Amino acid sequence: MPPSPLPPFALLRNPVRRYAWGSPTAIPALTGTAPDGTPQAELWLGAHPSAPSLLVTGDGDGNGNGNGNSGDGGDGAVPRPLDELIDADPDGLLGPDTVRRFGPALPFLFKVLAADRALSLQVHPTRAQAEAGYAAEQARGIPPDAPERVFKDRGHKPELICALGDFEALCGFRPAAATARLLDALGVLPSWAAALRTRPAEAVLPELLRAGLTADAAELAAVTGALRRAAEAGGPYGATCVAYARLAEEYPGDRGLLAALPLNHVRLGAGQALYLDAGMPHAYLRGVGVELMAESDNVLRCGLTPKHVDVDGLLAITSFRTGEPEVLAPHPTGRDGEEAFASPAEEFGLSRLRPGAAAVRVDLATPQILLCVSGRARLRAPGRAELPLPAGASAYLRPGAGPVELTGPGAELFRATTG
């Protein structure tokens, strides 16, 4: 018997991931739930098998009046894991074109990320590097859950983060001369500064990354002390040194602090975004944002973590290009109330919608997820009940079911779809 037909859209119930760096209040504030005193780091929207969203189906329209994170969604609807529904009917849930392009799985993972302290400094591989690394670790018999296992799958993991308020990150290597000036101002690591001035950065930076991750305790203590003094003094490097001094407090004795010194310190405002491609070292420091990525677990860590750091593997996949990262602003798409963020990723695209009282048409050519971050929106399909989307609520929109309409004066939503 073929799978039961699904409505064009249905409410999602989304799991919360609890990591030590998470905020105990930001995600509850968004979703309208009570904080429980524990860090809530990420809200996952998607079909990742380790924590899939639940699709509220069963009564025809997925209608409900909550934010989708508790209860059964209303009207007797039965929540079902999105990955299981896709497995049972990939063409119906993803569309034949998406299945041809990416296989029978949702190719992106959408998140709300809420950081009160820094995430680990990390790099993601290219697809070719991931395939080679996965094959090598399989051949060596490294268990999937072993702490030294790096390549969990064969995929790459480009990602895009859009700030919902003030947001800080480290992202890519700053120009060599700028790092040399920072080290001069701190009065530390003079050999690093000299090398950056006299040799090509792409030759020097791998050496500095290895030196930082293998530095002795005295050198790390000297740099930490200099950063704290500079943070207190202010001046042209004050904000950057405050961020690094905070890292030293959050991860005492972690050599990832030295590995992070050559990276750009970036501050985003609400609606600004960063695109992070393979090989780019980065760490999110604090703030709340929506994050969209290809669905992969492949991460090589550079420090700021108690987890395994594979220095040789890290050097093999890191891009040592220098320059200031591009801060993205959304650009109009030509559709009323919608702006998109530029992204070269095939697996995903992110846009922001600000519908008014007049209905905005949402085409359903590809699978997509809508997340309301403020105000109250409403989805409507001809001949079907409406689906309210208050702040914190999200919906899965099935491709091939015809266009639907979105309204919501004062509401702000983000739309995740394929690239």
Is there a domain that residue 325 lies in?
Answer: no
Q: Decide if 50 is inside a domain.
A: yes
Residues with catalytic function: 301
pLDDT value of residue 327: 97
| Residue 166 located in a structural domain | yes
Q: Are residues 259 and 137 in the same domain?
A: yes
- pLDDT tens digits, the chain, 419 residues: what are they? 344 467 899 999 999 999 999 999 999 999 999 999 999 999 999 999 989 999 997 543 333 334 555 444 445 568 999 999 999 999 999 999 999 999 999 999 999 999 999 999 999 999 999 999 999 999 999 998 898 888 988 889 999 999 999 999 999 999 999 999 999 999 999 999 999 999 999 999 999 999 999 999 999 999 999 999 999 999 899 999 999 999 999 999 999 999 999 999 999 999 999 999 999 999 999 999 999 999 988 899 999 999 889 899 999 999 999 999 999 999 998 888 899 999 999 999 999 999 987 888 888 899 999 999 999 999 998 777 789 999 999 999 999 877 899 999 999 999 999 98
> Residue 48 has what pLDDT?
92
Could you tell me if 103 and 116 lie in one domain? no
Q: Are residues 72 and 132 in the same domain?
A: no
Structurally, how many domains does the chain consist of?
2
Q: What is the pLDDT of residue 152?
A: 87
Q: Which of 137, 116, 94 minimizes the C-alpha distance to 6?
A: 94
Q: Does a structural domain hold residue 98?
A: yes
Q: Are residues 152 and 287 in the same domain?
A: yes
Residues 257 and 336 in one domain: no
Regarding whether 130 and 97 lie in a shared domain, the answer is: no
> How much helix, strand and coil, in percent to the nearest 5, is found in the chain?
25, 30, 45
Evaluate whether residue 43 is within a structural domain.
Answer: yes
Judgement on whether residues 209 and 61 belong to the same structural domain of the protein:
no
The answer to whether the beta carbons of residues 373 and 391 sit under 8 Å apart is: yes
CA distances from 14 to 17, 48, 341 (A): 10, 11, 24
What amino acid occupies position 319?
S
The CATH number of whichever domain residue 292 belongs to comes to: 2.60.120
- The helix (run of H) or strand (run of E) holding residue 44 is strand 42-45
**Does one domain contain both 93 and 142?**
no
Beta strand spans in 70-166 (E): 78-81, 108-115, 121-123, 159-163
Q: Is 388 domain-assigned?
A: yes
Residues 102 and 250 both lie in one domain = no
The residue segments making up the domain with residue 230 are 112-317
Regarding whether 292 and 335 lie in a shared domain, the answer is: no
Alpha-carbon gap, residue 38 to 105, rounded angstroms: 32
Asked if 214 and 95 sit in the same domain, the reply is no
Q: What is the pLDDT of residue 204?
A: 98
Are residue 277 and residue 133 in the same domain, yes or no? yes
User: What is the model's pLDDT at position 92?
Assistant: 94
Residue 84 lies in a domain: yes
Taking the C-alpha atoms of residue 419 and residue 416, their distance in angstroms, rounded to an integer, is: 9
Tell whether 197 is covered by a domain: yes
